[in-house]
Amino acid sequence: MKTENEFVIFELSNGLRVVHKQVNRPVAHCGLMINAGTRDELADEHGLAHFIEHAIFKGTKKRRSFHILNRLDSVGGEIDAYTTKETTCFYGTFLTEYYDRAIELISDITLNSIFPEAELEKEKEVVLDEINVYLDTPSDQIYDDFESQVFQKHSLGNAILGNVDSVRSFNKSHIEKYINRLYTSENMVFSSVGNISAKKLKEKLEKHFGRLRSGPAIQQRTPFENVTRKIVKTPKETFQTHCIMGKAAYDTNETKRLSLILLNNILGGPAMNSVLNLKVREKYGYTYNIESNYSVYTDSGLLSIYLASDPKYMNRCVTAIQRELKVLRSKKISPNKLSLAKQQLKGQLAISRESNNNIMLSYAKSLLIRNKIDPIDRIHNNIDLLDANNLLASANEHLNEFELDYLFFEGKVK
């Protein structure tokens, strides 16, 4: 076992990597994260990773759907799942005394699901309704459409939910082929935060995950190569015009990634004192919602700026944004502002770590994708090492408005 101040990392006999943090709390969290998502789908599998996330709860060799959903809920816990472009995760929250129950349940659905055809047909309707929810929500749909534009002709650009035709085409054979390719021990991480020793946790995991097939994933990912800039405008029957702009950015292994994280936080992160919020919303009152985001993938990333506004203000909004991007590209941030920005990012990280569920999921993703976990003091030290030159270089590489893709959902003109 490899022990850090915060956590312990070890492997099961079949190669499944495990990270555990022991905390003296009555509530525990654990989950299985799989290095398999939307980008790992074949041509006839668009949306399959997400569909499996739903279908896996529909019955196992010893449980029907009701018994799966009731297993943790009946003791006050909960089980949940999500799918991203690169990962699928099944996780639970529960009282510490039910550790064995939670681990056994997660192992049962991931190792023993039988995917009854009748249940699959019903679940297709659920997923199709989920797709309709997105289509009814321009602020969500525009992100999917923008990723499709930036990562055109690449699986990173595929919508996680798939589309109507692809979802209707799925059957048990599609599911089993995907799982056989990707659901292997070396392509998974089990993560845990709770009041149990690493030794006892390992015993439980060997008991319930011992049957997990060992070995790496069969499929190799195709790297993404940058494409040319595009501006796309799509009419919508909405009262607002929605706009998103951005480009491909640093991947998870790029050493300059942290400078872009800090730069994005300054530009349009979650705080109300971000540059875009102060200069576009507060100064002019042009928009209710404006933000920037930086999503990181194994071999690429996506930096984006999103806002929605009355159509008559949209051109002014874009001009104001471009003006602020130019400032960040041409002028070094002052020592005082840089110091405050670093403290802000550290504070946000600390607040996110108040949730043990967040910690559990963060550990899982880091160990799965990067095969390491940086303790919080190391992260803080790396933030402290950033200087104004780092941010200026990242700004000049990623914030040139003449290199950004643009997508507009054009609303009604009043």
- Print the SS3 string covering 18-46: EEEEECCCCEEEEEEEECCCHHHCCCCCC
- Segment 118-145 mean pLDDT: 96
Q: What is the pLDDT of residue 4?
A: 67
Residues in the chain, overall count: 414
Alpha carbon separation from 212 to 41, 115, 180, 189, 348 (Å, rounded): 22, 18, 11, 12, 37
Using the predicted structure, report yes or no on whether residue 53 has a pLDDT greater than 70: yes
- Segment 206-223 mean pLDDT: 89
Using the predicted structure, report yes or no on whether residue 398 has a pLDDT greater than 90: yes
Radius of gyration of the chain, Cα coordinates, nearest whole angstrom? 23
CATH number of 2-209: 3.30.830.10
DSSP H or E stretch at residue 290? strand 287-296
Query: Do the two domains 2-209 and 231-410 of this chain adopt the same fold?
Result: yes
- Segment 89-98 mean pLDDT: 98
- Segment 349-377 mean pLDDT: 96
What residue spans define the domains of the chain? 2-209, 231-410
Residue 357: closest CA among 82, 66, 10: 82
Model confidence, pTM = 0.94
Q: What is the pLDDT of residue 220?
A: 82
Per-residue tokens: 357: 């569920």
The architecture CATH gives domain 231-410: 2-Layer Sandwich (3.30)
CA distance 352 to 363: 13
Mean of per-residue pLDDT scores for the chain: 95
Contacts of residue 395, Cβ cutoff 8 Å, sequence gap at least 6: 263, 325, 328, 329
pLDDT band at residue 226, thresholds of 50, 70 and 90? Answer: confident
Using the predicted structure, report yes or no on whether residue 19 has a pLDDT greater than 60: yes
pLDDT band at residue 349, thresholds of 50, 70 and 90? Answer: very high
Percent of the chain predicted with pLDDT > 70:
99
pLDDT band at residue 413, thresholds of 50, 70 and 90? Answer: low
Q: What is the pLDDT of residue 372?
A: 94
Using the predicted structure, report yes or no on whether residue 1 has a pLDDT greater than 90: no
Using the predicted structure, report yes or no on whether residue 414 has a pLDDT greater than 60: no
Using the predicted structure, report yes or no on whether residue 132 has a pLDDT greater than 60: yes
pLDDT band at residue 406, thresholds of 50, 70 and 90? Answer: very high
Q: What is the pLDDT of residue 177?
A: 96
Describe the strand order of the beta sheet including 88-95 as a list of residue ranges: 2-3, 8-11, 17-22, 188-194, 27-34, 88-95, 78-83
pLDDT band at residue 251, thresholds of 50, 70 and 90? Answer: very high
Q: Which of 53-67, 196-210, 225-239, 286-300 has the lowest mean pLDDT?
A: 225-239
Residues 405 and 231 sit within 8 Å (Cβ to Cβ): yes
